[in-house]
Amino acid sequence: MSRPTPSDYAAAAAEAIRNHPDVRASVTAATRNFDAHRARAWEQIEPDAWRDWARDVKTHALTHLDRYLEQAEERLQANGTQVHWADTAEEALAVLGRIAAEGQVHRAVKAKSMLTEELGVNAYLEGRGVHVRETDLGEYIIQLLGEPPSHIVGPAIHRSVDDCRALFHEILGTPVDADPDVLAAAARSALRSDFLAADLGISGGNFLAADTGTLALIENEGNIRLSTSAPRIHVALVGIEKIVPRLDDLSGLLQITSRGATGQPVGIYVSLLQGPRRDDEPDGPEEVHVIFVDNGRTRLLADDRAWEALRCVRCGACLNICPVYRQTGGHPYGFTYSGPIGAILAPGLLGLAESMPLPYASSLCGACADVCPVRIPIPELLLHWRQQAVEAGLLPATEGLAMRAFSAASTHPGLFAAAGDVLRRIPWELGGRALPVVGGWSNERAPPAMDHRSFRARWKEGIE
């Protein structure tokens, strides 16, 4: 199965809306729920002060990234962690493959991590004979279904309870009408043996504090704590933008990320990890590796406007409030990170041409910027990428033509009136849908009947 790409966005989104109304229902309900929790959580704090602080910490970290990367490496090594660097996805996978081979790994458990989705870790390891099990309940569901995650925080939010009932009935033998409690218990039991049998635990990282070499991970189920505690080897894949200066900074970042994501004061479980098991500890991994991954991040950092997207803490608040994302969920975006943040990360991480038309998958309503805990100016960055797309000649030719025609008409009143007269008389069924720009809207919709008088004519007559 070839992975979908952003270029399929329009067709995939239309297909999802037309053929899968259940996906829209599930995603809309879930994101409204997430957003309501976030809104309530922000009423309990002074969100503006928290967001300013979080923005400034991440901006400081990113504008001193070279220094903090080196410091983090030094502290990780002092803690007994092995540090690796990877330019690309291929390099990161090769490092992981080497660790797995040297450690004679047969079975791996995975904590939820978007970076490992971005890199394609599961397929790579499976191809090398390592059995990989996703352990986050949502990730487990989509692994069984063979789907990518649909949301940064809730990977299976596009699936209903009934979908899960049918799946678990087939795979785990639960009753067809089982309650979610029963389904979760069956998954717990199946995954428990995976945890205890695994040689390798794979995680991402929410933050990495440079001064203590502390890798911080937030979750609610306990699968991340188990994945990083039970197997004898732990490998963390960490994007270079996840470095923060101090352990002290985690106090605010863990809280604002949790509040932004699910509205909790903090996730049920936070892991603060400082390397392998020590002599005075009863258990824990014998071997810990951190792989710093670039995979396009330095290219994004080099963009004088869009680098701000690297502040993202992956809370999903912008997805939850986005009226466009809510219609389809994440799959049509054809990229690991979907929704508003995905649309501004993709051009940096993948390249702009490879990311078209994602910067256009937005109504620019601005709701995302209003909720972002690190104040990423998402609509401005969408416009930035659109401008870059125009300059690079990446827009459909008809759109540029339409824009130039409109520009000419709007600066010549006589031409404007004449063009309006013509356009109002084109029958939609014959020609209207072929119009550039307008066609994209009207192809999927029943158009309203046109008045043959112009707005200005009606204004003179006196509009009721």
Partner 1 sequence: MSAREAILTRVRTALGSRDRTEHPGPFGGWRPEATPLPPSQAFGERFAEAGGEVVNVATEDDARSWLNAAAGGAGSVALGATLPTELHPDAPNVAPEEAAMGISMARGAVAETGSLILDARDGRRAQLLPPFHVVVVKATDIRETLAGALRSMAEDLPSAVGLHSGPSKSADIGQILVKGVHGPGRVVALIVATVRE
The region of 9-17, 100-108, 130-138, 398-406 touching partner 1 under the rule CB under 8 A is 130-138
Minimum CB distance to partner 1, residue 103 (Å): 18
| Cα 153 from chain centre | 8
348-407: contacts with partner 1 (CB under 8 A): none
- Which residue in 270, 364, 394, 426 binds partner 1 (CB under 8 A)? 270
Residue keyed to tokens 């732990």: 234
Minimum CB distance to partner 1, residue 317 (Å): 16
From the list 124, 107, 120, 79, the residue with the least C-alpha distance to 289 is 79
The two structure tokens encoding residue 219: 């979750």
143-172: contacts with partner 1 (CB under 8 A): 154-157, 159-162, 164
Nearer to partner 1, 235 or 356 (CB): 235
Q: Measured between alpha carbons, how far is 74 from 72 in angstroms, rounded to an integer?
A: 5
The two structure tokens encoding residue 54: 């979080």
Q: Measured between alpha carbons, how far is 341 from 323 in angstroms, rounded to an integer?
A: 14
- Tell how many helices (H) and how many strands (E) occur in the chain: 23, 10
Instruction: Assess whether the previous peptide bond of 175 is cis (omega < 30° from 0).
Output: no
The region of 2-10, 137-145, 399-407, 412-420 touching partner 1 under the rule CB under 8 A is 137-145
227-256: contacts with partner 1 (CB under 8 A): 228-230, 240, 245, 247-252, 254-255
From the list 122, 80, 78, 73, the residue with the least C-alpha distance to 97 is 122
Question: Interface with partner 1 includes 266 (CB under 8 A)?
Answer: yes
Q: HSE, CB side, 13 Å, CA atoms: give it for residue 117.
A: 23
Minimum CB distance to partner 1, residue 46 (Å): 4
Minimum CB distance to partner 1, residue 236 (Å): 12
31-50: contacts with partner 1 (CB under 8 A): 33, 44-46, 49-50
Minimum CB distance to partner 1, residue 369 (Å): 19
DSSP 237-272: EEEGGGEES-GGGHHHHHHHHHHHHTS-SS-SEEEE
CA dist 244 → 54, 62, 153, 192, 289 (Å): 11, 8, 21, 33, 18
Single-letter code of the amino acid located at 248: D
Question: Interface with partner 1 includes 136 (CB under 8 A)?
Answer: yes
The pattern of x and - marking residues 49 through 68 that bind partner 1 according to CB under 8 A reads: xx-xx--xx-xx--xxxx--
H/E stretch holding 179: none
- Which residue in 123, 302, 392, 417 binds partner 1 (CB under 8 A)? 302
Nearer to partner 1, 6 or 231 (CB): 231
Minimum CB distance to partner 1, residue 341 (Å): 20
| Count of residues engaged in binding partner 1, rule: CB under 8 A | 100
Minimum CB distance to partner 1, residue 29 (Å): 7
Question: Interface with partner 1 includes 108 (CB under 8 A)?
Answer: no
Q: Measured between alpha carbons, how far is 293 from 91 in angstroms, rounded to an integer?
A: 9
The two structure tokens encoding residue 133: 């099990």
Nearer to partner 1, 113 or 362 (CB): 113
Question: Interface with partner 1 includes 294 (CB under 8 A)?
Answer: yes
User: What residues are paired with 208 via a beta bridge?
Assistant: 215, 243
Question: Interface with partner 1 includes 220 (CB under 8 A)?
Answer: yes
- Say which DSSP state 2 is in: P
Nearer to partner 1, 283 or 461 (CB): 283
79-98: contacts with partner 1 (CB under 8 A): 79, 85-87, 91
Minimum CB distance to partner 1, residue 340 (Å): 21
Do 6 and 350 contact (CB within 8 A), yes or no?
yes
- Which residue in 265, 400, 413, 431 binds partner 1 (CB under 8 A)? 265
180-219: contacts with partner 1 (CB under 8 A): 180-181, 183-185, 187-188, 191-192, 195-196, 212, 214
